[in-house]
């Protein structure tokens, strides 16, 4: 996620150096199309400088950059260029303030690659699990308690009865060997093999459904999953999304059912849903494909926005006669967007003038 080389100022001259060799205090030059090699503080930039931070924050719109501090939050301040983000417009000169694992991207990568402590669902006893389902840890506790109890009972019987009534029958060495034998005999030695074989069979079944398990200890958890959710960045998919269902209160519609309900005018809530989907949306139809059917049009924008915009268009084209006048884009701090749009309607046939304001949040 970092470029192989970057342009820096060294010994008063600009030179290209490997991005891995950057140190704190380096002066770095970045421009349109570059990937930011480290966390930088913007010292000077053109007026059209913008960064695509979607890889870190999920923001679909590019964020403008300025030399001035705009927020106390490091992630939100516009004078910070974070490693791994793209320069989509303009150019800038920045001061390296964090490199490697100390960058925001590096800390996220380190957290995602480090092992987490704790037990898996198979290993822990959970009060939410059906009592008839015996997890491995509970089973081990039961077997361990039984084996220790039998071993202690054997020693107690020897010490209280056999050692006094038959002193030559069992010595100290023999009773220790007997107690250890009883302790080991109760433990099912085939348990690890049985559990491993069972998990391997489940892992193979998951693999046939294109679910790859990196560790056998997670197989039991994945085997109990009904819905598997993944990110929207296209890491696991083609980054093409479509709306399958829409819900209004307790009523759920498929896309086809929503279209029929809109035509019949059965659900007024669908009209509001369509307005929100179309107007609070950063995606746009490509002008070259606007004459094609909705399913074949090319859309420019984030995958999620594209799917919602296509869904809104399938419910009806009249929504797109609104014109946006003001927009507050979504960002990771506010976690919402605001869109103010105008719609010109014929209130008077003679004047053909009228104005309605719609606010979508």
Which CATH number fits the domain that encloses residue 14?
2.70.150.10
Indicate whether 94 belongs to any domain: yes
Co-location of 65 and 158 in the same domain: no
Same domain, 29 and 104: yes
- Give the span between the Cα atoms of 239 and 284, in whole angstroms: 17
Q: Is residue 165 part of a domain?
A: yes
* Whether the predicted pLDDT of 310 surpasses 80: yes
* 202-221 pLDDT per residue, tens: 888 878 877 777 777 677 66
Is residue 271 located within the same domain as residue 308? yes
In a domain, 119, yes or no: no
Span 59-89, pLDDT tens digits: 667 888 889 888 888 888 889 988 888 888 8
Of 153-157, 252-256, 288-292, least confident by mean pLDDT is 288-292
* Cβ-contact 6, 84 below 8 angstroms: no
Task: Assess if residue 267 is contained within a domain.
Answer: yes
Whether 126 is covered by a domain: the verdict is no
The tokens 């390296």 sit on which residue?
96
Three-state secondary structure string covering the chain: CCCCEEEEEECCEEEEEEHHHCCCCCEEEEECCCECCCEEEEEEECCCCEEECHHHHCCCCCEECCCCCCCCCCCCCCCEECCCCEEEECEEEEEEEECHHHCHHHHHHHHHHCCCCCCCCCCCCCCCCCCCCCCHHHHHHHHHHHHHHHHHHHHHHHHHHHHHHCCCCCCHHHHHHHHHHHHHHHCCCCHHHHHHHHHHHHHHHHHHCCCCCCCHHHHHHHHCCCCCCCCCCCCCCCCCCCCCEEEECCEEEEHHHHHHHHHHCCCCHHHHHHHHHHHCCCCEECHHHCCCCHHHCCEECCHHHHHHHHHHHHHCCHHHHCEEEEEECCCCCCCCCEEEEEECCCCCCCCCCCCEEEEEC
* Residues 254 and 217 grouped into a single domain: no
Report the C-alpha gap between 80 and 42 in whole angstroms: 6
Give the domain range for residue 155.
136-186
C-beta of residue 322 within 8 angstroms of C-beta of residue 263: no
Query: 340 phi and psi, to 5 degrees?
Result: -115, 120
User: Is residue 179 scored above 70 in pLDDT?
Assistant: yes
Whether residue 293 is contained in a domain is answered as yes
pLDDT score for 206: 77
pTM for the predicted model, two decimal places: 0.44
Half-sphere exposure of 64 (CA within 13 A, CB side): 9
What does the alpha-carbon distance between residue 65 and residue 47 come to, in Å, rounded to a whole number? 8
Is 329 found in the same domain as 285?
Answer: yes
Q: Is the separation of the CB atoms in 252 and 312 below 8 Å?
A: no
| 128 within a domain of the structure (yes/no) | no
Quote the pLDDT of residue 360.
47
Query: What's the maximum distance between 2 C-alpha atoms anywhere in the chain?
Result: 123
> What are the catalytic residues?
231
The predicted model gives 213-234 an average pLDDT of: 68
User: Tokens standing for 181?
Assistant: 């034998």
The reply to whether 273 and 337 lie within a common domain is yes
Radius of gyration of the chain (CA): 33
Q: Please check whether residues 215 and 249 belong to one and the same domain.
A: no
Residue 131 has pLDDT above 60, yes or no: no
User: Cα(276)–Cα(335) distance, rounded to whole angstroms?
Assistant: 16
Co-location of 356 and 253 in the same domain: yes
Q: Are residue 82 and residue 53 in the same domain, yes or no?
A: yes
The domain tally of the chain equals 4
Same domain, residue pair 314 and 349 = yes
Q: How confident is the model at residue 331 (pLDDT cuts 50, 70, 90)?
A: low
List Cβ neighbours of 236 (8 Å cut-off, separation of 6 or more): 230
Statement: residue 126 has pLDDT above 60: no
Shared domain check, 150 and 101: no
Q: Model confidence at 133, in pLDDT bands (50, 70, 90)?
A: very low
Q: How confident is the model at residue 41 (pLDDT cuts 50, 70, 90)?
A: very high
Does any domain span residue 349? yes
Asked if residue 281 and residue 176 are part of one domain, the reply reads: no
């Amino acid at each position: 996620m970092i470029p192989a080389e970057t342009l820096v100022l060294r010994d008063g001259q600009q030179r290209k150096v490997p991005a891995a060799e950057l140190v704190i205090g380096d002066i770095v030059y970045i421009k349109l199309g570059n990937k930011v090699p480290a966390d930088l503080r913007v010292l000077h930039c053109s007026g059209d400088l913008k960064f695509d931070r979607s890889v870190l924050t999920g923001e679909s719109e590019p964020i403008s950059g300025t030399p001035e501090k705009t927020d106390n939050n490091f992630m939100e301040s516009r004078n910070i260029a974070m490693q791994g983000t793209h320069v989509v417009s303009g150019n800038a000169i920045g001061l390296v303030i964090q490199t490697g694992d100390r960058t925001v991207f590096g800390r996220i990568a380190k957290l995602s690659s480090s092992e987490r402590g704790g037990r898996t669902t198979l290993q822990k006893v959970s009060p939410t699990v059906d009592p008839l389902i015996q997890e491995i840890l509970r089973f081990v506790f039961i077997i361990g308690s039984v084996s220790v109890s039998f071993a202690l009972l054997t020693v107690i019987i020897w010490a209280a009865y056999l050692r006094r009534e038959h002193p030559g029958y069992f010595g100290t060495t023999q009773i220790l060997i007997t107690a250890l034998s009883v302790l080991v005999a109760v433990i099912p030695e085939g348990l690890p093999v049985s559990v491993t074989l069972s998990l391997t069979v489940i892992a193979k079944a998951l693999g046939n459904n294109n679910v790859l398990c990196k560790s056998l200890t997670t197989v039991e958890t994945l085997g109990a999953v009904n819905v598997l959710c993944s990110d929207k960045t296209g890491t696991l998919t083609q980054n093409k999304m479509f709306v399958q269902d829409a819900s209004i209160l307790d009523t759920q519609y498929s896309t086809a059912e929503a279209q029929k309900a809109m035509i019949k005018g059965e659900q007024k809530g669908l009209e509001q849903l369509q307005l929100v989907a179309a107007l609070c949306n950063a995606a746009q139809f490509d002008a070259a494909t606007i004459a094609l059917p909705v399913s074949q049009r090319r859309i420019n924008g984030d995958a999620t926005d594209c799917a919602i915009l296509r869904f809104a268009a399938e419910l009806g084209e009249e929504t797109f006669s609104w014109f946006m006048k003001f927009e507050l884009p979504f960002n990771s701090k506010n976690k919402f967007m605001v869109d103010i749009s105008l719609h010109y309607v014929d209130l008077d046939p003679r004047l053909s003038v009228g104005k309605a304001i719609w606010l979508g949040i």
